[in-house]
Amino acid sequence: MRVKQLVGAGAIPGWVLVALIVVSINLRPAITTVAGVMNQVPGVFGLDPALLPLLGTLPVLAFGISGPIGPWLARRWGTGRAVAVALLVLAGALIVRATVPALLLPGTFLAGMAIMTASVLVPQIVKANRGTGWWTGLCTMGFGLGAALGAGLVQPLETAFGGNLSSALAVWAVPALLGAFLIHRAEGLPSGRLMDVEAFTTTTGDAPSSAVTSKSALPLRKQRTAWAVTAFFGLQAMLYFAITSWLAVYLVSRGLVPADAAALLAWFSLAGLPASLLAPVLAGRPVILRIMAPGLGLFVAAALLGVLMAPVELQFLMVGILGVVQSAGFGLAMALVVIRSDGPRSAGRLSAMSQGLGFALASLGPLFAGLLHAMTGGWELTFWMLSAEAVVLAGAGFFAIRGPLVSADAKKQELRPAENASTATLAP
């Protein structure tokens, strides 16, 4: 069967990958820079301390609201331009919220919308460029690297700027502008108007052509695999944002000085970088995927309880373990969007659904964690509740790897669970 090209195809895939990695690095510092200096925010920006849980929740809430924006812009402007515009908006939001104290909360919300707009298009770009598990792994590692740099550098930057926290937060607009330039210049990104998607999916190994039937595709909201992937994405994100929002505050309550607590928050992200790279690669192996998808949730639950119960002297080790399993969960969540969809368009729509609804759920994580701490005056109940959520995450992983592939195209997959495992597109 003749394969028609994606609109705008023809670039060197390696250049596209470089641009994607730089984009990914920019999609977490807006959150972790503030989390690393949460105790300083009320004094510097005049924010009521009671609003700190809201500050941690706003970007994630924006994620949940703005999920459809990315695919909508991509259909009209092209994927590369849509991501570039999102990063330009992100740069503006970072500058505004840091320099105008009254706009700290609105600027944070706008930054979250820009991050989400770019984030949902990453799996679509990977799928359309026939990216392997290494592509997804490098992108998810970029998320973790950006989170670590944001948390680890915010206080050194504050010192470098003569104690000016606003400048230390605003300077992150510079890499956002670089990412916008690179992704806009990268050629070969799909424009969002895919041509002959069925030909693409049946000749590139996304699914065997014999598995495609003439039945019309169901809406994603009626496909159980789409809901399972969405639940997995949302639950792991809920855990991630609850941890990154409050881990430094928790560690200070255990007796660490703020600088050491911020350093451990950075270590949480750095320790997980290899896991975020390898998880999507390993997920391309069906035997490993069947164990990994439900198993990661149980490991996260155990690691959370380890951070709660371990003495201060062992927090470096326990926070590192938590970073490894949490980052692996995020890498797997991104990989599932690619593995469990039957083509670029389906990957884009599943990405919008899983990240949009998933982050709407995740927005509750920082809020509930902060409220539970405020209600009890301690952290025990918060950590036990997060551990219980991690067990539910294990259940979502179990169902996410079963059932037919998600299809948003004119035809759909009718594969048995065992057959679906063999169609993973993230083989190394």
Q: Is residue 399 part of a domain?
A: yes
Q: Is 26 inside a domain boundary?
A: yes
Q: Is 427 part of a structural domain of the chain?
A: no
C-alpha torsion sign, points 327, 330, 332, 335: negative
Does 6 reside within a domain? no
Specify the pLDDT at position 211: 37
- pTM, entire model: 0.70
Domain count, the chain: 1
Distance of alpha carbon 283 from alpha carbon 281, whole angstroms: 5
- pLDDT for 134: 75
Residue 2 lies in a domain: no
* Cα dist from 222 to 228, 342, 412, whole Å: 11, 16, 13
Q: Are 124 and 190 in contact (CB under 8 A)?
A: yes
**Distance set, CA 335 to CA 8, 91, 137 (Å):** 24, 27, 8
7 located within any domain: no
8 is a domain residue: no
What domain range includes position 57? Answer: 13-421
- CATH code for the domain of 203: 1.20.1250.20
Q: What is each CA distance from 327 to 34, 272, 279, 313, 383, in whole angstroms? A: 20, 5, 9, 23, 18
Residue ranges, the chain, pLDDT below 70:
1-13, 130-132, 187-217, 409-428
Q: Is residue 74 part of a domain?
A: yes
**Using one digit for the tens of pLDDT, what is the confidence trace for 243-284?**
988 898 899 999 898 888 888 988 998 888 888 888 888 888
